[in-house]
Structure 1
Amino acid sequence: MLVALSALAACSAGPSTRPVIAVHGDGGEPSVAATPSGPRDVPPLESYETPGLSWSTCTDSARARMRGAAPAGDWEYECARLTVRLDVPSRPGRGSLGMSLLRVGTGGSPLVVVGEAGGEPGTVKAARLAASLPPSVLSTFTLIGVDRRGTGESDPVQCVPDAARIGIVEADPGAESHEELADAYTLASRECVLDLENRLPAVDSWRASADLEQLREALGVPHLNAIGIGEGARVLTLYASRFPDRIGRMVFDGAPDPTLDVAAVAETRAVAAEEAFSAFQKDCVIRACPLGAGATDRYRALVESLRDRPLRGAVFDVTPGTAAEAVLAGLADRNRWPALAEAIVAAEGGDGAKLAAFVEPLLVGREDDPARLDAGLITGCNDTTTRIPPERVIGMTEDWRTKHPLFGAYFARQLLACGPFPVPQAVKAPKLTSAPPMLVLTTASDPVTPREGGERAAQALPAGVVVAWQGGGHGALGQSACATKAAEEFLVSAKVPTNGTSCPP
């Protein structure tokens, strides 16, 4: 939901229509980890043991957490909890929180899955990812999904009042005034500061990377093998820079850009979202979906009609803001493009339930899956010291509304989010000067982590290797057979693909 700061970088794969924008970096503290030097090979695979973890069957509960979209097949899941250090700035190294884990697969080596703070919990992501990976991966590795701190069942943050959540999501990107949206963010900040107190600044990617080191120790392996999905790649990059001698086989699927400031990231996402919608429309034509070649015009007309006649719902309404949120969520999930087309058509006919289903996980929490807006908002604001003045947001909104008519105003207005939140203590990761090859998968039309950001992410790594899928949606792993094969060969056989490998749509 929240535009998160990126944390990686790479070479350009060709001409780009993305805006050229200034660069920004955050400050911080060095790590005390040893720093290897010189070129390094892909680390060997190691067997794991977890004498300190108590695993128990959780197949039924894991399937229930997938909200009716569990993969077909007789998948078996086990869950455990690991206690990690809370490490709030006022009590460094002290306090604790519980981190939820899920494992699936029969392999002897662990492969950790780290997701996005505002997205599907990492445990659920790992369970779903297992069904889309080649069998050799699951026979070589045991996937271990992690609900990163503040998310899922890892002591989740649930502090944003319902009124603020709904106010944020329902806010009309086309509104002339930003006051109502700013008020919703202010209410969210006030209640979260009161509710979380000293725990608030501990929900960030920096400390999430330290949690992974505690997990590695609990697994009893010298190196951390991991998949970072989207903004989860930021956590792995921080881990690599803090614990360079512990880097195992790492795959970044849709890595965020480490070179741009917050506003630049927001605008590149606006551009990428428009490209993703164009890819969605072309896919509609190929599939002869009910929207046909008029998807863009019909979506715009729907948004206009919702300004006059929102579609009422039991918990929240389908407004222009809700529609934008739903469409962006749908564009990110390539598997749900057919459902997104059906949802837009249903909303045209006055039925907003299908569009609302795309937004519901952000707003409506359950005991095993709290509302995801809270953790995404807090982690994103704790990951940057930047706070953009409202008057600057107003100017950018007007500019982007013209330049990026479908989603420009939406992404500009999101820059109000962190203004009311406390500015975190700045941290700076040590420079990573040596590392084994790390695989970075990019997607041509990715509305969450745009392709160029992933390229720059790979370039910032000592041995980053890009495999570029020419498709659309957020992430290539399990979507592109070519990109998935490259990841399989890298993870299982230590075969490093040629940098710049292009995979067909």
Structure 2
Amino acid sequence: MPTARLLRPVVVLVGIAALVLTGCAPDKNQVTAPTSSASGPSADVDYGDLADFYDQQLDWKKCDAGQCATLTVPLDYDDPSGETIGLALARHEADDTPIGSLLINPGGPGASGVDFLQSFLGEATSTLKKSFDLVSFDPRGIQRSSPIECVDAKEMDRITALDPDTSTDAGLQDMIDESAKFSNACLDRSGAVFGHVDTISAAKDLDVMRAVLGDDVLHYLGFSYGTKLGATYAALFPDRAGRLVLDGALDPTLTEGAIESGQAAGFEGALRAYVADCLKGSSCPLTGSVDNGMKQIRALLDRAKTSPLDTGTDRELTQALAFSGIAVTLYSQSFWSALTQGLTAAIRQGDGSILLSFSDVYYDRAEDGTYSTNSTEAFRAVNCLDDRSSTDVDDMRAQAAEITKVAPTVGSFFSYGGTSCGDWSVPEVGSLDDYSAQGAPPILVVGTTNDPATPYKWAQSLATTLSSGVLLTYEGEGHTAYRAENSCIAKVVDAYLVDGTVPDDGTRC
């Protein structure tokens, strides 16, 4: 199966860090940002058949993540009297009198917000922690919230290591058959929830959270895929949108093909930046020009497909695993030195163990061979409900040729995306007709100029798609920008979230 759509959790970076330590519309800004949201849900709002969900009380209890509670929501919002599911929430109470709650989503899709909260507290500024009750959650289908379950660990090992044959029509059909087999297993093991983990349903869950937490409007900080979730919320509930920050933006109006092409170009650019930096050092395993270095990495990937590298275990480093191991280190410039270690071992010693360990972090695979989360299953389940690429062979081959032009080194890993959801066992939900969110207050869209996973042009696009989008640019490397150590971005974002101060559209850091 292709590795396209590498919108993986921000939390994945924590795992890599551990390994490194151990070896569009009216004119913009015409609506002011809301000044408060902590007055509780408006009494005059008629929630109709959903009233019982909006009126529920949360029972907060102490847990490893701080305080935890379970929110009940309908499995199917078109049938609120039917089956329900529970969503896991975690909270860190404000160090001072809170403005209200700030809901946080780390991305994915498939990332656990409950797991993310503690690491986020280490990245968030003291101003943010003082001003808001920080609330994160596991979206429907993820980890503790009626999780999608598909295959056992042994089968997941096989799937993640699979090197597909895209050179023949039969090979493409094999990929579609793999997808069908996978989705059938998900439906068998997960049941009805497998068809209801789409982004629109998750955005409706956000509104129930907002009301139950006692807020008139939603204050929200979403990373990566979390920006799509936040933009979807704004489109559905523009009058209930508060201060929304969308960092590492994904424009939900983009087609699957545009996403695949954009990410291919993004990772190609990030890899080129890494190679240029690597070649300046004495320990770099690459030689010659940047173009030569890129070709050497591609040669390594091709070698791993024909002759997988030994890892000192019963698992070999296949091409798919090698690419995942490389790609995950491109999410942050701070991991470039780790990538140098992995490439050095693979190129000079034929040792794939380091890159395999990075790939395992990407897939949340533990040392004992188990998978600590269901992020991979949830990732595919959400994406295949939201949108699907054409499975027409001619269409896929034409798109693959275009992707290879913009990303000759890594483009093949973002091609043939139509096979990823081929013969899927539940119908596509699709997307909204309009994401402009007319009437919403200013929404802050943050983009990083050389973000590999969510290319900068997507942030520009989303800021234009949203009728009140305001673009904030971080000139740098890596995926997403808000963190305490990035003082310029943090200062602007904090001023917006805490004080309602909307920066000038086009502000750069």
TM-score (norm 2): 0.81
Q: CA deviation at 1:257?
A: 2.3
Match runs of 1:70-109 below 5 Å: 77-87=66-76, 91=79, 94-104=82-92, 105-107=94-96, 108=98, 109=100
What one-letter code is carried by the residue in structure 1 that aligns with 2:446?
L
- Distance in 2 (CA, whole Å) between partners of 1:389 and 1:161 is 31
Instruction: Please name the residue that 2:427 is paired with.
Output: 423
What one-letter code is carried by the residue in structure 1 that aligns with 2:383?
G
Instruction: Please name the residue that 2:105 is paired with.
Output: 114
Change (3 A) 1:496 1:425: closer
Instruction: Please name the residue that 2:17 is paired with.
Output: none
What one-letter code is carried by the residue in structure 2 that aligns with 1:99?
L
Match runs of 1:4-43 below 5 Å: 39-43=30-34
Change (3 A) 1:172 1:394: farther
The CA deviation string for residues 81-131 of structure 1, in whole angstroms up to 9 with x for no partner, is 222221176x45532112112223424121110132445322233322221
- Distance in 2 (CA, whole Å) between partners of 1:341 and 1:387 is 37
The CA deviation string for residues 348-394 of structure 1, in whole angstroms up to 9 with x for no partner, is 32433322233225263799942321001010010125543244223
What percent of counterpart residues are identical?
A: 27
Instruction: Choose from 207, 215, 222 the match for 1:221.
Output: 215
The answer to whether structure 1 residue 152 and structure 2 residue 143 are counterparts is yes
The answer to whether structure 1 residue 446 and structure 2 residue 451 are counterparts is yes
CA contact (8 A) 2:447 2:481 kept: yes
What one-letter code is carried by the residue in structure 2 that aligns with 1:376?
F
The answer to whether structure 1 residue 134 and structure 2 residue 125 are counterparts is yes
Instruction: Choose from 492, 499, 503 the match for 2:498.
Output: 492
CA contact (8 A) 2:106 2:223 kept: yes
User: In terms of mean alpha carbon deviation, does 365-374 or 481-490 score higher?
Assistant: 365-374
Task: Output the aligned Cα RMSD.
Answer: 2.9
- Which structure 1 segments of 5+ residues have no match? 6-37, 63-76
The answer to whether structure 1 residue 53 and structure 2 residue 58 are counterparts is yes
Instruction: Please name the residue that 1:481 is paired with.
Output: 487
Change (3 A) 1:403 1:216: closer
SS of residue paired to 1:131: helix
User: In terms of mean alpha carbon deviation, does 445-454 or 387-396 score higher?
Assistant: 387-396
TM-score (norm 1): 0.81
The CA deviation string for residues 388-434 of structure 1, in whole angstroms up to 9 with x for no partner, is 32442234334433542111111013331012213324452555211
CA contact (8 A) 1:364 1:371 kept: no
What one-letter code is carried by the residue in structure 1 that aligns with 2:410?
F
What one-letter code is carried by the residue in structure 2 that aligns with 1:424?
E
- Distance in 2 (CA, whole Å) between partners of 1:373 and 1:46 is 35
SS of residue paired to 1:476: coil
The CA deviation string for residues 152-181 of structure 1, in whole angstroms up to 9 with x for no partner, is 222211114556644543233775243443
User: In terms of mean alpha carbon deviation, does 482-491 or 303-312 score higher?
Assistant: 303-312
Change (3 A) 1:236 1:400: closer
- Distance in 2 (CA, whole Å) between partners of 1:419 and 1:196 is 19
Match runs of 1:328-347 below 5 Å: 328-347=327-346
Instruction: Choose from 303, 321, 331 the match for 2:301.
Output: 303
- Distance in 1 (CA, whole Å) between partners of 2:323 and 2:107 is 20
CA contact (8 A) 2:274 2:336 kept: yes
Instruction: Choose from 156, 179, 188 the match for 1:185.
Output: 179
- Distance in 2 (CA, whole Å) between partners of 1:120 and 1:161 is 19
- Distance in 2 (CA, whole Å) between partners of 1:202 and 1:330 is 32
CA contact (8 A) 1:306 1:319 kept: yes
The answer to whether structure 1 residue 408 and structure 2 residue 411 are counterparts is yes
- Distance in 2 (CA, whole Å) between partners of 1:147 and 1:210 is 14
Instruction: Please name the residue that 2:242 is paired with.
Output: 248
- Distance in 2 (CA, whole Å) between partners of 1:472 and 1:93 is 48
Change (3 A) 1:363 1:160: farther
SS of residue paired to 1:466: strand
- Distance in 1 (CA, whole Å) between partners of 2:382 and 2:72 is 20
- Distance in 2 (CA, whole Å) between partners of 1:401 and 1:429 is 31
Change (3 A) 1:120 1:341: farther
CA contact (8 A) 1:85 1:93 kept: yes
The CA deviation string for residues 256-279 of structure 1, in whole angstroms up to 9 with x for no partner, is 123432112111111111111122
